[in-house]
Amino acid sequence: MSTTQTTARSVTKTVSIRRPAAEVFDFVADPANWPAWAVVNVQAVEPTDDPDWWLMTTPQGPARLRIRGNAELGVLDHDYVDDQASWQVPARVVANGSGAEFMITFFQPPTFTDAFFDEQVALVDEELAALKRVLEAGA
């Protein structure tokens, strides 16, 4: 049995948003807003008895979401748990002049084939475009 750790395959996606970084952070940090922009993966979301966790309805079934945010550092890391897998997703909001960059990194879970991971990551472009559209519409 090997104890050698491997490096997971990863993809980082970025979108520029013409809104102040604090507004982008506040919007993404609130799971109640996720159905408005995470249009591929989040169909509905509701709070649970545990204030740190939210229950999501996804195309794959129920899942739980916890955001571990730090506004001062722009950290929006989140944990995702469903019946098949669980993983952590690092995310950041970084000021860019009067706007912001939202960056999110996905690590391929060992249970995902390369083809399935590629399909899922490609769908994120649609979600980031929706995030940009929703936030910039409020300008």
At residue 41 the predicted structure's pLDDT band, cuts being 50, 70 and 90, is: confident
pLDDT band, very low/low/confident/very high, at 120 (cuts 50, 70, 90)? confident
Do residues 127 and 101 lie in contact, with contact meaning Cβ atoms separated by under 8 Å? no
Q: pLDDT for 48-59, tens place per residue? A: 999 999 999 998
Number of helical (H) and strand (E) elements in the chain, helices listed first: 3, 8
Q: What is the pLDDT at residue 1? A: 52
Mean pLDDT, the chain, rounded, equals 92
Tell me the three state secondary structure of residue 131: helix
Distances (CA, A) of 101 to 16, 95, 96: 5, 6, 6
Give the tens place of pLDDT for each residue, 64-82: 999 999 999 999 999 999 8
Alpha helices in the chain (DSSP H): 21-29, 34-37, 114-137
**What are the Cα distances from residue 57, in Å, to 6, 43, 108?**
32, 5, 21
